[in-house]
Structure formats: C-alpha cells, structure tokens
Amino acid sequence: MKKINFTIIILCLLVFASCKKNNPATSYPYGSWTLNNTTFKVTSCAADSAGVDLAALDSLTGNPSCNLIVYFNNALPTASGTYTVAIQNSLPAAGQVSIGVGYVAPSVLNNYISTGGGGNQKVNVTVSGGKISISGTGIEMVNIGLGTDSAALTFNITQTQ
C-alpha cells in the first residue's frame, strides 16, 4: 500500500512539474497598461494616418473603444529618447508627449488625459527595426468626464504595424 501511495505522489509531482505556466509577458508581446487597478493587454498598436500618434488597443475586453494613445509633436520619433509628459489639451511641443486613455466600464465612458505632472514625468521611447516602443510609470491622468477622478498610469506598448 505504501508503494502505491508513493507512486501516486511521484506521478502527481511529475504532472504538476510538467504543466506549462501562463506567462503574461509572452502572452501579450505588444505590452499592456494599468489604470485604476485594471490591466489592459495590447492586442494591436499602430500609428495613425497623420503619423503623430501611436494607438494601442485592447480587444480582449470586448470593448472596441478600449485604447491608449500617445501623441507626439508633428511626427512619430525616428530615434530613441526620453520625452516629457505634457497636459493633453493640444498638440505637445517638441520633446514632449501627451497621453489619452479611453474605455467603457461599466457602461460609463472613461476618458483620461495626461495632466503633465508639473513637467516632471517622463516616458522612454525606443525605436528599433522600424518599430516604436514606449513605456512610462506613474503618469498622472485625470478623467475629463469626472474632473475629480484621477489615476496613475503605468504602460509599456510596442508598435505592431
């Protein structure tokens, strides 16, 4: 009886050890963003037709309006660098970006814009192989529909097309 129990335990350990773990970093290679304790996974990320912003979409939420947009001054960057976050009320100046996040939850439109953070917040931009990657942590955002609703945005997105 002890031999059977020992064999069952060994088999169970082998089965558990061979199970593949779901690694979110490899499941969503184009990045993610987190706002209000909700993480959105990037399923596509592309430049707009005017070439001044990079828009990341999360189609997994079942909400086609779920997006994060990073706006640049007049053109997308062609070289890596650090950009200062500006308030998203107009086209940012050279060396700056502004950020917008929009989603519906639950049946309420949430439209967040970057506040500029007093000029102290930065995002990192990497240009490699013709694709742009952008990351930022703790970016101050405010919901323009609810002026008192603010949140910190953390994101890492990579251009897919």
Domain for residue 65, yes or no? yes
Domain for residue 52, yes or no? yes
Domain for residue 101, yes or no? yes
How large a percentage of the chain has pLDDT more than 70? 76
> How do residues 94-152 score in pLDDT, each as one tens digit?
999 999 998 776 667 788 899 988 889 999 999 999 899 999 999 999 998 776 788 99
Q: For residue 106, what are the domain limits?
A: 30-158
Please report the DSSP string for the chain in residue order: -HHHHHHHHHHHHHHHHHSPP--HHHH-TTEEEEETTEEEE-SEEEE-TTSSEEEEE-GGGS-TT-EEEEE-SSS--SS-EEEEE-BTTSPPPTTEEEEEEEEESSSSEEEEEEB-GGGT-EEEEEEETTEEEEEEEEEEEEETTEEEEEEEEEEEEE---
pLDDT value of position 62 = 58
Kindly state the average pLDDT of the residues 61-68: 70
Domain for residue 99, yes or no? yes
pTM of the complete model: 0.77
